[in-house]
Structure 1
C-alpha cells in the first residue's frame, strides 16, 4: 500500500516510457532486467531525498524527506 501511495505523486524520467525495438511502450515492463531496474529505482526513490537527474533545488532536504516518508508509512497502516 505504501508503494502505491508513493508512486501516485510524480513519475520520473526513468519510469516511462520504455523504448523497445518496436517503439515506445508506456507502462510495459519487458523482461526481468527491466523489472529489476524499475523495482530498484522505486526503492531508491523511497529511501533517498536525492533524485537522479534532478536539480538540487528540486529535491527535499533530508529532514523533509524523513517527515514525508514517516507520514506515508503511518498513514497506510
Structure 2
C-alpha cells in the first residue's frame, strides 16, 4: 500500500484528495524527526510512515505534520 517517498514523489499531486497538494520536493527531503530515517508515503491514508519509529505522520491539507505527538502508532 505504501511506497518509498523518493520512488513515488513525482505522482503525489494526483493521488492527494481534491484540494490538497503535496510538494514532491518536500517529500523527498523529509525524514522521521525521531530516527532521521527515510519515510514511506501512503497515498491512500495521506500519511508518511516511519518504519523504524513505527509511526505514521498525518498529512493535512497537503502539509505533513511531523510532530511525534500527532503521529499514530503502527504495528
TM-score of the aligned structures, taking structure 2 as reference length: 0.27
TM-score norm. by structure 1 comes to 0.27
Structure showing greater relative contact order (alpha-carbon pairs closer than 8 Å, 6 or more residues apart):
1
Computing the radius of gyration from Cα coordinates, the structure with the larger value is 1
**Between structures 1 and 2, the one with greater strand share:** 2
